Amino acid sequence: MTLCIVTPAPPGSQTGNRVTACRWESIFRALGFAVEMRTRPPENPPAVLVALHAIKSAEAVEQVRRRWPEVPVVLALTGTDVYHPLRESARGMATARQADRLVVLQPLALQELPAELHPRTRVIYQSVGPPLPPHRPPENEFRICVLGHLRDLKDPF
């Protein structure tokens, strides 16, 4: 079975969408799927379409629905879908309504979706790992590490 992942982030990009797509590609391959990763709609019908970003992957979802309506579509709502209210985008909401399943990466993202989409939505905590060993922080200094693609849209400060 060939699974197609569509992400707006081009190869070599270090954005969250590409990092997530690459992480998911390795998981799907480990589960036995053949995986095709693309930035554009697929040319052949995949067994499943996994699209990252409701607005930027709208064309891929629309084309798959039109050409191969039997192909299951999973839409992953990404950070910018959530941080820029999805409800304000008619195209993003149309894409979400076309998906068979929606994936969000944290439970508060459900607040951006109308209640009608909640039964088709699953929360996947993708950044959870084993607990870190306890350590004693330094007493004379304050250390902080911020990881992410920080920009005004996400209001990191």
Could you tell me if 73 and 64 are in contact, meaning their C-beta atoms sit under 8 angstroms apart? yes
Query: Which among 21, 20, 100, 99 is positioned nearest to 58, based on CA atoms?
Result: 99
pLDDT confidence bin for 77, thresholds 50/70/90: very high
- Provide φ and ψ at 35, rounded to 5°: -125, 135
Distance CA 77, CA 17 (A): 10
Structure tokens at 92: 């993003």
- Give pLDDT, residue 120: 97
DSSP code at position 137? P
pLDDT tops 90 at residue 45: yes
What pLDDT band is residue 36 in, cutting at 50, 70 and 90? very high
> Within 13 Å and on the Cβ side, how many CA atoms surround 151?
8
pLDDT at 19: 87
Burial class (CB in 10 A: 0-12, 13-18, 19+), 109: buried
Would you say residue 150 has pLDDT above 80? Answer: no
Backbone angles phi and psi of 4, in degrees to 5: -110, 125
> What is this structure's pTM?
0.82
d(CA 63, CA 42) in angstroms, rounded, equals 9
